[in-house]
Amino acid sequence: MSRADTAVNIFLGDPEHFADVINHGIFRGQPVIIPDRLVELDTASRKRESISKVRDIIKSYQNNQAVFILIGIENQTTIHYAMPLRIMDYDSRSYEKQRRAISARHHKAKDLVGNSDEYISGFSKSDRLIPVITLVVYYGNKAWDGATDLHGILDIPDELRPFKDWIGNYKMHLLEVARINDEDLDSYSDDLKCVFGFIKYQKDKQALRDFIYKNEKLFSNVPVETCEAIQEATHLNEIEKYIEKEQEGVNMCVAIQEMIEDGRTEGEVRKLIEQTCKKLRKRQTAETIADALEEDPAYIQSIVEAAQKYAPDYDLDLIFQDFVK
């Protein structure tokens, strides 16, 4: 994902969203991170680092006294097979940056002169670093088949296998959005549920439609910023035209239905019209027809309204032309 302030980075950079993702992805759903205690890391200091060595989002977390943890999010739409090493590098750089700052303070205060070990270290026996955690949020539909720790990318010879635990390891925290189960998905905040649900079901428009209609109230007015994050994470460019129409919120129920309709071939639409007309001749209601054909009731109702103009003959060509115009 680009290092620019992308829509996803902006969306997850919101303290409420950031805290929700970290609490689910790291702390097993426990509300450990409180949004109003998160502080954006100084962007000026980040710009001095190589752009390829900076996380997408990083914040400090403070209690009433001081910062006690640094938390980062790395967004991925594709699998990065060296990701454990990359995350280890991010985190080690954060620790080294802290060490340098501590060393600079000691140098300025000249308070380590009397102890040679501490002076050479630039770090006293009582000095401590702030813990660092990075979560990789993966949006792809392909299952993550890369390693999730450093050992997974090491070529450890058979002779050393019995001593594997002696070889330094580094665990990577991974959240696979497409594999969040339905129960966990329901526990996310509304905006995150919208984004993550869309990602989870993006390859199956029928399942996506079912998910959206199951959460119709939630999807009837989705904030534009949330829609922009959905579009970027899923590469579903059809969403853009709905974003452009609205200033505040998008009715995703309407949007997904229209996208599904746009994806139907002419032959599929004609066949559905023909099936609907056959059932209309039997005096079936739109609701009954939709249920029998396992189609969206609103879509069938639209066909019925077009067909009724041409009853009782039900000229299929005229109905089709009326329906698609």
What are the structure tokens assigned to 229, written together? Answer: 């994050």
> What per-residue confidence (pLDDT) applies to 44?
44
What is the C-alpha to C-alpha distance for residues 131 and 113, in angstroms, rounded to an integer?
28
- Profile the chain (325 residues) by mean pLDDT over runs of 10 residues: 67 95 95 92 53 74 77 91 96 95 95 86 94 94 95 96 96 96 94 94 83 88 90 81 75 74 73 93 92 84 92 91 79
pLDDT value of position 265: 67
Q: What is the pLDDT of residue 53?
A: 57
Report the distance separating Cα 128 and Cα 130, nearest Å: 7
Question: What pLDDT does residue 1 have?
Answer: 47
Model pLDDT, residue 296? 77
CB 65 within 8 A of CB 46: no
Please tell me the predicted confidence (pLDDT) of residue 127. Answer: 96
Give the pLDDT of residue 68: 73
Cα–Cα dist 56/74, whole Å: 5
pTM: 0.76
